[in-house]
């Protein structure tokens, strides 16, 4: 998997891509709020919202297969929540509540996916800042985005290096423990890298304040 997967279609050129960034942010927030707040008994409204979202994705030329895979990625989490949370109320009410959580999550996710796939990330961050997001948060997100690519690269190299010296499958347990070690090494390497990045920032006069070119 490559991190490009996160926002593969963000540099397209459809009408959705050309809309003003702040308008897109407001539309997305509105869709998420609607998905979260409208009572689930008004299910036709949710159905309409789903149709609108799918239409928006198709206008932006984002393929359905991509959406399915992307939503599938977070489904374990959504399902876990959907079934764990309502169990407190007893089994009788659990099923409708679980369905409500699942529907709301998937709709919100679709709205968010639309936003990141019709706006290049740096422009999205600039838009969010103009909507009042604090600079510190924007800087953190920018770092996250920048180094997602580097960390994924590093992970791919480490996995290739391991595969190059793995001559036969040694059972699932060994595989999992090797994967855990790999992730541990990746964490340590990332911490080292964070230190070097801090040095590089200091070397160019960083004093703890984040400045941006407006």
Q: Which residues of the shown chain bind other proteins in the complex (CB under 8 A)?
A: 121-122, 142-143, 145-147, 149-150, 193, 196-208, 211-214
Question: Three-state DSSP class for 207?
Answer: coil
For residues 61 and 14, the answer to whether their CB atoms sit within 8 Å is yes
Q: How would you label 42-64 residue by residue, b for 16+ Cβ within 10 Å and e otherwise? A: eeeebeebeebbeebbeebebee
Cα separation, 155 vs 196, in Å, equals 19
Minimum distance from residue 115 beta carbon to other proteins (Å):
17
The residue (of 54 and 147) whose beta carbon lies closer to other proteins is 147
Tokens for 92? 């009788």
The residue (of 65 and 203) whose beta carbon lies closer to other proteins is 203
Name the DSSP class of 120: -
Minimum distance from residue 118 beta carbon to other proteins (Å):
17
The residue (of 83 and 147) whose beta carbon lies closer to other proteins is 147
The residue (of 172 and 207) whose beta carbon lies closer to other proteins is 207
Minimum distance from residue 198 beta carbon to other proteins (Å):
7
Minimum distance from residue 130 beta carbon to other proteins (Å):
16
Minimum distance from residue 86 beta carbon to other proteins (Å):
40
Cα separation, 104 vs 46, in Å, equals 8
Q: Rg of the Cα trace of the chain? A: 21
* Residue 51: closest CA among 78, 26, 77, 31: 31
The residue (of 131 and 202) whose beta carbon lies closer to other proteins is 202
Cα separation, 7 vs 65, in Å, equals 14
Question: Three-state DSSP class for 150?
Answer: helix
Minimum distance from residue 38 beta carbon to other proteins (Å):
36
The residue (of 89 and 122) whose beta carbon lies closer to other proteins is 122
């Amino acid at each position: 998997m490559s991190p490009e997967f996160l926002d593969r279609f963000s540099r397209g050129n459809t009408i959705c891509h050309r809309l003003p960034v702040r308008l897109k942010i407001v539309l997305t927030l509105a869709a998420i709020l609607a998905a979260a707040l409208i009572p689930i008994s008004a299910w036709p409204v949710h159905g309409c919202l789903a149709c609108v979202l799918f239409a928006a994705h198709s206008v932006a030329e984002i393929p359905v297969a991509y959406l399915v895979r992307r939503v599938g990625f977070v489904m374990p989490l959504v399902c876990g929540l959907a079934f764990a949370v309502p169990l407190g109320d007893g089994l009788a009410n659990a099923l409708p509540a679980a369905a409500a959580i699942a529907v709301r999550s998937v709709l919100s996710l679709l709205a968010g996916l639309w936003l990141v796939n019709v706006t290049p990330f740096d422009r999205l961050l600039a838009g969010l800042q103009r909507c009042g997001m604090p600079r510190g948060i924007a800087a953190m997100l920018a770092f996250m985005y920048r180094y997602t690519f580097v960390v994924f690269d590093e992970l791919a190299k480490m996995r290739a290096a391991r595969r190059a010296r793995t001559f036969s499958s040694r059972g699932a347990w060994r595989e999992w423990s090797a994967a855990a070690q790999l992730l541990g090494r990746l964490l340590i390497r990332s911490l080292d890298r964070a230190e070097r990045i801090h040095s590089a920032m200091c070397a160019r006069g960083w004093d703890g304040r984040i400045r941006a070119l407006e």
